[in-house]
Structure 1
């Protein structure tokens, strides 16, 4: 009998994680709670339980004899789902609530970085609008304003002018735009340079880095428009040197993992460092306590080892074997609903992608209507393809998208282009 595993979450990130797990010869069945209807095309079994219903999820895991559970999104982690599963005697992969605070509070993350000399932008934390405004007026622009807590990727404002910065502060501290998440803000210096995402499997002080990726946060071509959860990604990132990556592992990932053990909140799970390559070396923009979306959809394509075996080994205290492709590129483009990240329509009928040959589709904001998939969220799906070159991977994705009727949706047409200039 093979492994029965449960993935918690419902987006494109969870789709690719579940798909990689189901490809393993060790795995008998992959369940996803709550999942989305697009996942069924890959044989993933949907479980109609919300990700915040911990007791119901624990009951399901016990009754279905789930061997272990993988947590995709940040909200259940910060709600203590790992603590709850472990208290029930169940195996689960992800950080406990105390460790997930590295993502749940920008202030927590900054304090960790200060304490362990992890390179990041100069910054200060404020509760009071007037004090924050005075600081911004003194520092000038460009400057970055961040809501302390979770805001679904939308709580960061890169202010080009002092006026924009003050508006953002007022919005968060006075206007209560993000509720409790924005009752405290971190104001930090603007850093310019190439951004890249460095993820790792972590177990206490053990850090197993992944291939790097680059995400595209802005909604529109040429990095215009509002920040989103991510509009596309590619991996690896040719313009970031291996020396820069090695330095980031040594100065960011290792001290962060070791620091959290020293501070009594050891991290087990996926640690994500959002980094910027500056002339002084890599600096941290943000930490996440889980896989990124859309980076996961391209990074996991590069994994040649068995993901289910890696997670099993990490949970059982064994040394995992983790190998990555050394050649070629993977590129993914997010297709979003018209209007995203603001108000958007739902119900657009999606193209049929069942006969894809050299590309893959990962579903996120979808529902079923009359046996067809329709849009049901801001980011609807991601198309990913591989190529010997980045240009070839990009061409495959866009040729496929251009051949389909994508009415009611939009996508960026320049994912990966910056790396080819």
Structure 2
């Protein structure tokens, strides 16, 4: 098989590497990829993830057997629609189904209509109305930009001034729309499901760390680290999430003629009132993908083909081990990052590369999240210690990372 992975970050590096581990896969192309993706079987090709027509042409020319889409921007841009019209096999939702991520108000309307538990909310097209609503409700409160925001369009405002500032920032954008939600207390976790024609195949759950700094302080980011599975979330809670959240959402999308194929990401919170939905994404999350895929022991390429062809996939994962990953980012992330810095020798780490460029054979950061390192073992404490010992021994000057990833699991 020849596989095409669309995207350029650490998530796509992890997906491409997982496909490359299959004995049935000869070559994995990544468009556009990045210069850190240099393993055997992997080949980057400089075609933008948003150039759907060129990607489809490339898939035809290279006789690609399966295309897997990483980023939400490509999905909302209609890449799946283009590929299906060309008779190409692709795993991901059409643009109308990808609205479950692309429009928070659409996602909320689906949840409301089909009885999916989530936070109370209101949508606003007018800044003054939104500000008045926030004043009435008080803090803490959650402010979300309605459209795509690369995981950073959410402000958990613990005071009213932070909420006001977040709303003003949103309404400075063109075609601005804000969703204001009640603040939920509880334990957050991420549940990925592989979906096709109403059938749902869940993967091990993960826990992401969104805030920039230790102790869940600082601004929201695209994710500073994750681990999977999550030992303190019981299986009964995962089952509740599947039955009350994932299944009715997929059924609801089908009922709305927006049938979903691909990866449905459910960002969930286990509250005193049960499991509730924080958000949906229409693709694998970053950085959870890097740790979840490390747990998979079955042939992932075969699993995806089986799902698309209507066969039961033989999904298998390691239940005895835990994988923990730490993101290393440029100083200043998620706001304006500092300048490009040279990466240390990372040969002793299991790495997935994101924001990197190459100069004279040396990798440099290119801003934002730079790389993610993972470690796998049977005990989360020993895994933490082993990974942080390696990271702390490196010269990561000009970059930073959280030092408490996985603490809730401990």
Q: 1:5 deviation in Å? A: 0.5
Structure 1 residue aligned with 2:409, among 407, 410, 419? 419
Aligned match of 2:206: 213
Moved more, 399-408 or 160-169: 160-169
Contact 2:26 2:41 in 1 (8 A): no
SS at 2:39 equivalent: helix
Contact 1:204 1:258 in 2 (8 A): no
Alignment of 1:172-251 (within 5 A): 172-173=170-171, 175-176=172-173, 179-180=174-175, 183-251=176-244
Structure 2 distance, partners of 1:62, 1:160, is 51
Structure 1 residue 401 corresponds to structure 2 residue 391: yes
Alignment of 1:227-306 (within 5 A): 227-306=220-299
CA RMSD of aligned residues (A): 1.1
Structure 1 residue 382 corresponds to structure 2 residue 380: no
Contact 2:226 2:406 in 1 (8 A): yes
Aligned match of 2:151: 153
Structure 1 distance, partners of 2:212, 2:396, is 17
Contact 2:340 2:367 in 1 (8 A): no
Residues 49, 83 of structure 1: alpha-carbon distance in 2 compared, 3 angstrom cutoff: same
Query: Deviating runs (4+, > 3 A) in structure 1?
Result: none
Alignment of 1:69-88 (within 5 A): 69-88=67-86
Contact 1:8 1:14 in 2 (8 A): yes
Q: 1:300 deviation in Å? A: 0.6
Structure 1 distance, partners of 2:338, 2:165, is 28
TM-score, length of structure 1 as denominator length: 0.96
Structure 2 distance, partners of 1:197, 1:62, is 35
Q: 1:373 deviation in Å? A: 1.0
Structure 2 distance, partners of 1:330, 1:70, is 23
Aligned match of 2:351: 361
Structure 1 residue aligned with 2:23, among 22, 25, 29? 25
SS at 1:45 equivalent: strand
Q: 1:292 deviation in Å? A: 0.4
Moved more, 101-110 or 147-156: 147-156
Q: 1:143 deviation in Å? A: 0.5
Unaligned runs of 5+ in 1: none
Per-residue displacement from partner, 1:366-389 (whole Å, max 9, x unpaired)? Answer: 111111111113000000010111
Q: 1:352 deviation in Å? A: 1.9
SS at 2:409 equivalent: helix
Q: 1:238 deviation in Å? A: 1.5
Q: 1:13 deviation in Å? A: 0.4
Aligned match of 1:327: 320
Q: 1:342 deviation in Å? A: 1.1
Structure 2 distance, partners of 1:372, 1:168, is 39
Structure 1 distance, partners of 2:335, 2:250, is 36
Per-residue displacement from partner, 1:131-162 (whole Å, max 9, x unpaired)? Answer: 11121111111011101001112211111122
Q: 1:42 deviation in Å? A: 4.5
Aligned match of 2:90: 92
Per-residue displacement from partner, 1:261-308 (whole Å, max 9, x unpaired)? Answer: 111000000000000000111100000000000000000111111110
Aligned match of 2:53: 55
Structure 1 distance, partners of 2:395, 2:132, is 51
Per-residue displacement from partner, 1:306-354 (whole Å, max 9, x unpaired)? Answer: 1100111122222211112111210000000011111113431112223
Structure 2 distance, partners of 1:171, 1:390, is 39
Aligned match of 2:133: 135
Contact 2:322 2:377 in 1 (8 A): yes
Per-residue displacement from partner, 1:93-114 (whole Å, max 9, x unpaired)? Answer: 1000000000000000000000
Unaligned runs of 5+ in 2: none
Per-residue displacement from partner, 1:35-68 (whole Å, max 9, x unpaired)? Answer: 0111113541011111111111111111111111
TM-score, length of structure 2 as denominator length: 0.98
SS at 1:85 equivalent: helix
